[in-house]
Amino acid sequence: MSSTVPATSERGDSLGIGPLLGTVAQVAARLAAASHPEDAALDVLDLLCRGLGAEECGIWLNTPAGLIRNWGVGDLVVTVEEIEIVMDGSTPEPASLTAIERLVAAEQRIGALAIRLARPWTDDERAGVRAIANVLAPVLVHAQHSHQLEEEVALRTTQVSDERRFTEKIIDSLPVGLYVIDREFRIQAWNRKRETGMQGVSREEAIGRTIFEILHRQPAELLRREFEEVFRTGRIQQFQMESLATGDLRVYRITKIPMRLADGPVTHVITIGEDVTDWKEAEGRFSQAEKLAALGQLAAGVMHEINNPLATIAACAESLQLKLEDLEAQGITLRGDYKELLTIVDNEVHRCKRIVDGLLDFSRPKPVTKALVHINQVVEKTLFLLKHHVRFKKVHVHQHLDPELATLIYASEEQLVQTLMALLLNALDALGDTGTIIIRTRPGRTASEAVICEVIDDGQGIARGEQGKIFEPFYTTKPPGRGTGLGLSICYGIVSDHGGRIEVDSIPGKGSTFRVILPGSEGV
Ligand SMILES: Nc1ncnc2c1ncn2[C@@H]1O[C@H](COP(=O)(O)OP(=O)(O)OP(=O)(O)O)[C@@H](O)[C@H]1O
Ligand SMILES: [Mg+2]
């Protein structure tokens, strides 16, 4: 292998080795103090070449990594073998036009200096070059060290900024809002999620400011107390917070985590805000479904037990009625209003039976014939049946039926009509005398939620605390005689039996939306 070095300097006439030695000694002294001795070493080479009238010279250095670095003036070609011979301690051929000198510093052979003349060397010149090599070697070692140091610093700097970028990427990829404050409440980290959304604040704007300036909508005192608690106790704090900042009500789980830069007191607090609205809703639906299922089982058991005695009472009342009629036929009239009493018993027994049947519909909807139906037809049929209802004449009923909705549902039309009728009658009750009811159909997003039908009213609404109870059997706010509290529980039973679900959104004083979500016929 051979190495070549490019010409990097212009040269003038030869200076002679005597003055050169003095100049090189001076330069070397400066080199030792220079911050980039390696660059300056090139100047030494240049001087050397000029002093000797050489066209080519170069330095070969062993690097700690085991490589040979070289640089110099002109196109000097020196083989690695030649250098290795010198490094091993042999003296090169005195007659050779190329003089190769070992560079030795602190008893270490660190490389070689080579100069090629166009003429034979004199002994003085060889001695001069050897002296220069001795001066140059420690300078080059120093240069090598500082070069190494620079490389290490550069490497560490890149590593640190890579690590920093990596950590930033991690916190930016989290689907939660995250920020970190120090003991002065100044923001030290602010992730991407906190930059987005209606309340988003850019990282540049947030970093370095106090949390009270940035979250100015939140009461500063409360925020301060929450953070101080974590700084003081060193314990994780977790709570839920409702916010209307995005327009609709969202629930956030806030977690404040203590962080210590070293052993000792908490230096920072990490705050994570997670939107748990959907999760809470799903949890609510799940626990409601569980509760209603348990209620359904209980109701089914009780109803079964009640049905038999009811049948007996009905049969007894009927037989008494027949006996009365027999007596009447024989011309015997009993004193007292037995006949009327028996009619009351009969009516009440039938009322009980209707309630029992209703409850059974909720707990265990009876097997029905299902067929492919279109929700728009179900809505039209329901409205046709209610058209003549006196109270419906006073309110505005708007239909917004999506004509594009192609998905059919596999359902009992009769039961779906019963469901929509119950929802419309409830809406009517909620309106009082006047108001608007909208019945709307639209496609859902997935096969299991392919068809959505909403009954929307602008009536009195339902208090937030009551919304979880309305599907329970016998829950009613209507005066006795007006409502049994079974309507929605029956709807719930029917819709569940069709593989769907029923939801409610309601704002007290503004109105309610009941949403029936059903699977498409292919999703069943
Ligand atoms: N659209 C609505 N607006 C306001 N409140 C409603 C609405 N729908 C239902 N509710 C509330 O839910 C309760 C339960 O309704 P549900 O239909 O189960 O029973 P009900 O209407 O009281 O009686 P029933 O339907 O058995 O005659 C109602 O009493 C009412 O308080
Ligand atoms: Mg009702």
How many angstroms is it from 59 CA to the middle of ligand 1?
97
- 475 pocket-lining for ligand 1 (C-beta < 6 Å): yes
Mean pLDDT of 62-72: 69
Extract long-range pairs of 7-14: CB within 8 Å, 24+ residues apart: 7/73, 7/74, 7/75, 8/42, 8/46, 8/71, 8/72, 8/73, 9/42, 9/46, 9/49, 9/73, 11/46, 11/49, 11/50, 11/55, 11/73, 12/50, 13/50, 13/53, 14/50, 14/51, 14/52, 14/53
d(CA 100, CA 87): 9
Task: Decide if pLDDT at 15 tops 70.
Answer: no
User: H-type helices in 178-275, by residue range?
Assistant: 192-195, 203-206, 211-214, 220-233
The tens digit of pLDDT for each residue in 298-337 reads 777 787 788 888 888 989 988 998 998 898 899 888 777 8
CATH of 2-151, one of 1.10.3720.10, 3.40.710.10, 3.30.450.40, 3.40.50.300: 3.30.450.40
Ramachandran angles phi, psi of 108, nearest 5°: -105, 135
371-523: which CATH topology? Answer: Heat Shock Protein 90 (3.30.565)
CB-based contact 368:419 (threshold 8 Å) = no
Task: Decide if pLDDT at 521 tops 90.
Answer: no
How many angstroms is it from 480 CA to the middle of ligand 2?
13
Buried b (16+ CB within 10 A) or exposed e, 209-222: ebbeebbeeeeeee
Task: Decide if pLDDT at 372 tops 90.
Answer: yes
Domains 174-275 and 371-523 share a fold: no
Atom of ligand 1 nearest to the CA of 511: 3
CA torsion through residues 421, 424, 426, 429, sign: negative
How many angstroms is it from 402 CA to the middle of ligand 2?
26
pLDDT at 28: 67
For the ranges 22-26, 68-72, 360-364, 496-500, the one whose mean pLDDT is highest: 496-500
- 292 pocket-lining for ligand 1 (C-beta < 6 Å): no
Atom of ligand 1 nearest to the CA of 457: 1
- 486 pocket-lining for ligand 1 (C-beta < 6 Å): yes
174-275: which CATH topology? Answer: Beta-Lactamase (3.30.450)
d(CA 442, CA 454): 9
Mean pLDDT of 7-17: 47
Determine which residue's CA is closest to atom 17 belonging to ligand 1: 487
Mean pLDDT score of the chain: 84
- 426 pocket-lining for ligand 1 (C-beta < 6 Å): yes
The tens digit of pLDDT for each residue in 71-119 reads 777 777 777 677 666 666 666 565 578 888 888 888 888 888 888 888 8
Q: How far is CA 152 from CA 23, 31, 34, 377, in A?
A: 33, 22, 19, 77
pLDDT at 9: 37
How many angstroms is it from 374 CA to the middle of ligand 2?
24
Distance, CA of 128 to chain centre: 73
Question: Which of 425, 426, 469, 471 for a ligand 1 pocket mutation test, highest count of atoms within 8 Å of Cβ?
Answer: 426
- 483 pocket-lining for ligand 1 (C-beta < 6 Å): yes
pTM above 0.85, yes or no: no
Left, alpha or beta for 264 (phi > 0: left; psi -120 to 50: alpha)? Answer: left
Domain ranges (residues) in the chain: 2-151, 174-275, 280-363, 371-523
Task: Copy the structure tokens of residue 188.
Answer: 């030290």
Say which ligand is closest to the CA of 424. Answer: 1
- 419 pocket-lining for ligand 1 (C-beta < 6 Å): no
Q: How many CB atoms lie within 10 A of CB 360?
A: 19
- Residue 136's nearest CA partner among 90, 88, 104 is 104
Higher pLDDT, 460 or 198: 460
Mean pLDDT of 458-462: 95
Task: Decide if pLDDT at 267 tops 90.
Answer: yes
Question: Which of 478, 495, 513, 514 for a ligand 1 pocket mutation test, highest count of atoms within 8 Å of Cβ?
Answer: 478
